[in-house]
Amino acid sequence: MKLPTTKQELLDKVRASHRKLGVEAATIPASHYRHTAMIWQEPRLHTNAAMVLVDVIVWNTMILQFAHDRTPGPSASFYSPSAMAQRAERLSAGFQRRFAGRDLRELEAMLTEGQDRVLDCVAHHSNASLFDPALSPMKTLGRKIQFFTSTAYDDALSRLRQWKQVL
């Protein structure tokens, strides 16, 4: 996979991740989105479409936090891939409870709003701030935003597809 090197390439990649998940989410039957099924992942997981969408909302929130944090130095470990994944896992239950009463359309609207905010955040950064030439390409803000987005959205896409197969 080619790494983004410009703001426009990053926006295109983030939009592509959003679009793929949106296409899949559009096929979720509103009458079944809270039906729980066991999908095969490590470890085995019971999930439903609402849980998957809420987890992506968690990720959008964390990506925005990361993109806005200008703290240099030690905070970098706070945003490592493993730390972000652990934090998403810890936050998920609270978000799931908070949004338990939301219907499918509300969750989709919240997801779209989060996506728009991530895109807006990226759009407000300069190429230099996203892809600082003094940093390794893997450590730039733009690359990390792209990595966190694609990782979260690819996982959600996989979980939704598995859930639909079992359902």
Domains in the chain: boundaries: 7-68+76-166
Q: How confident is the model at residue 135 (pLDDT cuts 50, 70, 90)?
A: confident
Q: Which residues on neighbouring strands pair with residue 46, listed in sequence order?
A: 38
pLDDT digits (tens, 9 = 90+) for 51-82: 999 999 999 999 999 998 866 655 567 788 89
Q: Count other C-beta atoms under 10 Å from residue 72's C-beta.
A: 7
Say what the pLDDT of residue 70 is. 66
Say what the pLDDT of residue 42 is. 54
**Mean pLDDT, residues 100-115:** 96
pLDDT digits (tens, 9 = 90+) for 23-47: 999 999 999 999 999 987 656 678 9
pTM: 0.92
Say what the pLDDT of residue 44 is. 63
Q: Return phi, psi of residue 46, to 5°.
A: -95, 130
CATH 1.20.120.450 fits 7-68+76-166, yes or no: yes
Residue environment code for 11-27, b if the CB has 16+ CB neighbours within 10 A, otherwise e = bebbbebbeebeebbee
**Mean pLDDT, residues 155-164:** 94
**Mean pLDDT, residues 146-165:** 95
Task: Give the rounded percent of residues in the chain with a pLDDT score beyond 70.
Answer: 93
